Amino acid sequence: MKCSIGFALLSVLCMAASLSAQTGLGGAELPAFSAEPALDTTFDLSASWDGRLSTQELGVISLSSPSFALVASLAFKNDGKYAPAQANLAEGNLGNLYFLLPAGGVAFSGAGFELRAGRLPHRDVVDSPYSLFVNGEAKTVMLTELSYNSEGFFYWSRWVELNSRSGMKTPAFPDGFPDRGANIKAYGLRYGEFSFGIQDAAVYVGRSFDLEYLLNPAPQYAVQYFRDTAGRPWATGADENDLLGFFGQWKGAMQSAQFQILFDDFNMHFILPKTPNNPWKAAWSLGWTIDTEIGKFSLWQAGATKYVFEPTYGKPGREYGYTYYPDSIFDYSKAFAGNYKAIDIADQMIGYSRGENNLALRGDWSGSPGGWPAWAYLEFTLSGSKSPTNAWQEDSWHRNQGTVLLGEAVLEKKLLTGFKISRRFGALACYASATIGYAWNALVLGPVTPLLDNPIAPENDLAPYNAIWIWKPSSTNKALFSLTLGGSWKLDLGGGRS
């Protein structure tokens, strides 16, 4: 009986998809360049249940050609994640809907060079759910990217807007979030089946865009110190942050493997004992994939030490944590009336989606049993206290304690499994997905309880440090469940085909 109801609902959603715009935001991608001009539009409708029923509607139009591509999309959702859009109706909104721009941008290509610009999903140089420099969930942000790709060498420099002209006021930021920006670079070499290289990321405060970080191919650590160091007439006096890392990939006929490492701060205390024993701020990611007759199997492992994505100082003007926002909360109310909600860790992170102070292990499978494309995963994570926006969390300095990873009596243990299955019938595609899990000692966001037995570092300003909330394991266990059924309709508009 339950299966019959589910298939009936799926059929209704598939028919509705041809009449309405959707929201599974996965369809909002910049198309690949094509040999001939092609213009397409997609409408998608889905319904989800995660304790409440919500719908999502998405419309996408895309154009591709040999040297130019374009995408524009608009989505409507009513899942309560963000405040509904205002409307001149009795209740002040339109069915509790809010709208998003999942993608809107252009790309140009020629002679090995490519320019992408606009509000677009962005990805890391490695294809992994646990990628470190760019969130594996491919968040959509305003970006500009310049890249070059040849048989033996590739390079890209990507500007990402973090905060610009913010009106979001919180207790830590009563005047709104400061303007912030980031730039991420990758330098890579290829030798047959192997590729490896260096990655580099910078976060700056006080402006949302910096032309030199984008255009200068020098390592950003050098750009930072060249521009910021005092005693020079061009010195900016800013205090910015740079993260450095390495990656390597091997792709064979049936198997592939990859690794990625990220560093922020490290110490030489193990070699020079009289130097500060500050924590290593580091993260790593490993992956292995094999193709078989019954599908593709992947195994992923990743982790990050405590403090790795946080700023070093709590002083205003130094909100250079590796995050999209400088606070862990936002005001959900339309009139900024102090109705604060948490920003999810996965939505907060520019890089590693599971955040700091974490170990993660995951297995994936994908295939097409009976002609139905399908995908499934199983994941287990361990997490301790984390707040990538708060310098040193409840403490005010690192105490010369050395590297910290999961060093707490209580940790969050989370087990998740999920699947997605789809089927295309000409221009119409139907899909279903679900996530099921359980979190023991689930992370809960709450105010800081400062530890005052450690002298406050003179560089830190205690007031904003106290105001930024942090995530901590709790005594609460929580079941996790979501189900989505949907359909999409794709219309080929021609666009100049002969």
Per-residue pLDDT of 299-337, as tens digits, reads: 999 999 999 999 887 777 889 999 999 999 999 887 667
**Confidence (pLDDT) at 473:** 96
Is 2 part of a structural domain of the chain?
A: no
Q: Which residues contact 327 (CB under 8 A, 6 or more apart)?
A: 168, 170, 172, 173, 177, 343, 389, 468
91 vs 129: which has the higher pLDDT: 129
pLDDT > 80? residue 91 = no
Is 387 part of a structural domain of the chain?
A: yes
Is 490 part of a structural domain of the chain?
A: no
Mean pLDDT, residues 40-45: 92
Is 18 part of a structural domain of the chain?
A: no
Per-residue pLDDT of 260-271, as tens digits, reads: 999 988 777 677
Which residues on adjacent β-strands are paired with residue 117? Answer: 106, 144
Tell me the residue range of the domain where 466 lies: 122-408+443-476
Q: How many CA atoms lie within 13 A of 198 on its CB side?
A: 10
pLDDT > 60? residue 11 = no
**Confidence (pLDDT) at 498:** 37
Query: What's the maximum distance between 2 C-alpha atoms anywhere in the chain?
Result: 77
Which residues on adjacent β-strands are paired with residue 472? Answer: 444
d(CA 357, CA 326): 18
Q: Which tokens belong to 267?
A: 């110490």
pLDDT > 50? residue 20 = no
d(CA 307, CA 311): 8
pLDDT > 70? residue 460 = no
Long-range contacts of 162-167 (CB under 8 A, 24+ apart): 162/203, 162/208, 162/323, 162/324, 162/325, 162/350, 163/208, 163/324, 163/325, 163/326, 164/208, 167/336
Q: How many residues does the chain have?
A: 498
Q: What percent of the chain has pLDDT over 70?
A: 88
| Of 180-184, 304-308, 466-470, 485-489, the least confident | 466-470
Which residues on adjacent β-strands are paired with residue 298? Answer: 289, 364
pTM: 0.89
Mean pLDDT, residues 100-108: 93
Domain count, the chain: 1
Cβ of 480: how many Cβ atoms within 10 Å? 17
d(CA 321, CA 313): 10
pLDDT > 70? residue 92 = no
What's the chain's average pLDDT?
Answer: 86
Is 58 part of a structural domain of the chain?
A: no
Per-residue pLDDT of 43-58, as tens digits, reads: 999 999 998 999 999 9
465 vs 373: which has the higher pLDDT: 373
Is 12 part of a structural domain of the chain?
A: no
CB 181 within 8 A of CB 240: no
Is 458 part of a structural domain of the chain?
A: yes
pLDDT > 50? residue 17 = no
d(CA 376, CA 419): 4
DSSP designation for 112: T
CB 108 within 8 A of CB 120: no
DSSP element (H, E) containing 74: strand 68-77
Is 289 part of a structural domain of the chain?
A: yes
